[in-house]
Amino acid sequence: MDDLQIAHEAAEAGAEVIRRHFGRGVEAEWKGEVDPVTAVDREAEEAVLAVIRRRRPSDRILAEESGGDDWNEGRVWIVDPLDGTVNFVHGLPQVATSVGLRSDGRGLVGVVASVVNREVFAAESGNGATLNGKPIHVSSEPTPSRALVGTGFAYDRQQRAQEMANTLAGVLREFQGIRRIGSAALDLCWVAAGRMDAYWEYGVRPWDTAAGALIVAEAGGRVTAFDGMPYPLDDPGIVATNGLVHDALLRAIQP
Ligand code: IPD
Ligand code: CA
Ligand code: CA
């Protein structure tokens, strides 16, 4: 089995766990004041990790709920078992399992399985990106006022509410509109599929973006940090676009 097939199998194993519990009123525990986690996050992570450990016993793993290794050396699988836990707790359907594989800091494969509608986004370095097996591409919209932009609000938003509001105002002035999907992995995949033209967020973690950033890049998009340099995965800020509205979005989000 190749790495991409393993990523598919692992992401699907996580998604299957979440699907069994979706809409059944799962109890939240609290990591922070607004940051929930559930038994389903942990059960989905176990299912994902079991596949990776069985298929690639010598690879290392960084996973949101159980932690793990530095991701810049050797082969490391980076796992968010349930991206969109707030959505999950409220029964909103934008929830996904994200599985990425990096080798010496370079993305090799990424799979994001959207749990409820069974869309599976995937990419392999150099081979393009797909949705349910069919090639996808970023949009060709060059005009910011016609470009739809996704974003997210990190869990430390209470401390940074005003700063975030200022950034939102800058984007609202220039762009068509803003969507807050509630899953960073799906934000990225929706840019890759051309549904949204751009996405930015400050406060993401490696497991939110490892798979999705590769999927955007392989779909022909551009992914950077807020300073316009290539996105290094340990940067809290990510900007992912169709390339054409990238510079305009970078300008709009500068403080
Ligand atoms: C969160 C989601 C959300 C984003 C947050 C993430 P989680 O992940 O991706 O859309 O705005 O920054 O932490 O906690 O649901 O896995
Ligand atoms: Ca996440
Ligand atoms: Ca998560």
CB of 85 closer than 6 A to ligand 1? yes
Residue 145 DSSP class: G
Which range of residues forms the domain containing residue 161? 144-252
Here the CATH number for the domain that contains residue 22 is 3.30.540.10
CB of 238 closer than 6 A to ligand 1? no
Residues 92 and 203 in one domain: no
pLDDT digits (tens, 9 = 90+) for 15-46: 999 999 998 778 888 877 778 788 999 999 99
Here the CATH number for the domain that contains residue 233 is 3.40.190.80
- Answer whether residue 124 shows pLDDT above 90: yes
To test the pocket of ligand 1, the residue of 83, 179, 190 to mutate (highest count of ligand atoms within 8 Å of its CB) is 83
Residue 103 CA to ligand 1 center (angstroms) comes to 24
Residue 138, CB-side half-sphere exposure with 13 Å CA sphere:
32
Least distant ligand from the CA of 36: 1
Q: What is residue 154's predicted lDDT score, i.e. its pLDDT? A: 79
What are the φ and ψ backbone dihedral angles of 4, each rounded to 5 degrees?
Answer: -65, -40
Last residue of a domain, one of 99, 115, 136: 136
Domain tally, the chain: 2
Token pair 């290094």 in the structure block, residue: 232
Residues 69 and 182 in one domain: no
Q: What is residue 28's predicted lDDT score, i.e. its pLDDT? A: 82
Mean pLDDT (whole number) for 204-225: 98
CB of 80 closer than 6 A to ligand 1? yes
Residues 85 and 109 in one domain: yes
Mean pLDDT (whole number) for 112-126: 98
* Ligand 1: nearest atom to the Cα of 187: 10
Last residue of a domain, one of 73, 103, 136: 136
What percent of the chain clears pLDDT 90, i.e. is strictly above it?
85
Residues 61 and 165 in one domain: no
Q: What is residue 36's predicted lDDT score, i.e. its pLDDT? A: 79
pLDDT digits (tens, 9 = 90+) for 65-95: 998 877 778 999 999 999 999 999 999 999 9
